[in-house]
Amino acid sequence: GFAYFGVGIWLLGTVVVPIVTLPLRLRGRSEDARSRRTQHAAHWFFRSFVGWMQRVVRVGDVEWVNEQALAGGPLLLVANHPSLIDTP
């Protein structure tokens, strides 16, 4: 898990984000547009990490309780004890 996360974050920051934001920079798009594209790339990586931890390593399971409450708009989710596994 630590290797997947560490290598993945390194690749995300040094390879993926510069590549996915390059077209926006070349077109002179706003910082906000580049930030949204970066957030989307990070979201994709964290989803893959959690999926890998669930399906391959089998260290946990995700259960959605009252998922309708998440559809209301922007949210801030906070882990109750931050660690490498809790953060994604």
pLDDT at 40: 92
pLDDT at 42: 93
24-68 pLDDT per residue, tens? 989 999 999 999 999 999 999 999 998 888 888 887 766 777 778
pLDDT at 53: 85
67-87 pLDDT per residue, tens? 787 777 787 777 666 666 655
Residue 32: how many CA atoms within 13 Å on its side-chain side?
0
The structure's pTM equals 0.65
Could you tell me if 34 and 21 are in contact, meaning their C-beta atoms sit under 8 angstroms apart?
A: yes
